[in-house]
Amino acid sequence: MNQDKEKFESLPIEGKREALKIQLDIILNTIKARMGILPIISTIFAALLVIATFNEQLIQLNNFVRVIISILLFLIPLTLYFYNVDLKMGLRNSEEIIENYIGEKFNEMISRSRFEKFMGYFPDIVIYLSTLVVVIVIILIWVNT
């Protein structure tokens, strides 16, 4: 048996739960952070590729480059969507845990103004609008050949 396992086994049950909770939180935060870099990577590479096509001597805008730009552009709202879904799932899980602890519905305990409710939906709205813009840009890339 290794030392870490021995230390863990010697903890009381509450200590074990707390130790596991800390590690699970670290894992969850790491996964969320990794999901958060996907839209950034897509945006950077799409921007670099688009900028490089401004000069025909660097990269000619042929069909292969159009495909790559289209994929990278579409990955931006797609990864933002999945990142947003991941964050909302974490929020729902936390709300359920709080509800289990206190025995009341979380949303019934908190009163929100219309502005606060709107701000709750705002990331979804922005992601849907950005998807629409990206689709229009991709269509324009292919129509203006």
Mean pLDDT of the chain: 83
For 9-19, what is the mean pLDDT? Answer: 83
pLDDT of residue 101: 67
| Residue 46: count of CB within 10 angstroms of its CB | 21
Query: Residues for the chain: how many in total?
Result: 145
**Tens-place pLDDT, residues 81-139:** 988 898 888 888 877 877 776 667 766 777 778 888 888 888 899 999 999 999 999 99
pLDDT of residue 38: 78
* Maximum alpha-carbon separation in the chain: 69
For 3-7, what is the mean pLDDT? Answer: 78
* 49 within 8 A of 99, measured Cβ to Cβ: no
On the 0-12 / 13-18 / 19+ scale of CB atoms within 10 A, 77 is: buried
pLDDT of residue 106: 66
For 17-29, what is the mean pLDDT? Answer: 80
pLDDT at 5 exceeding the cut of 80: no
Choice between 26 and 73, residue whose per-residue pLDDT is larger: 73
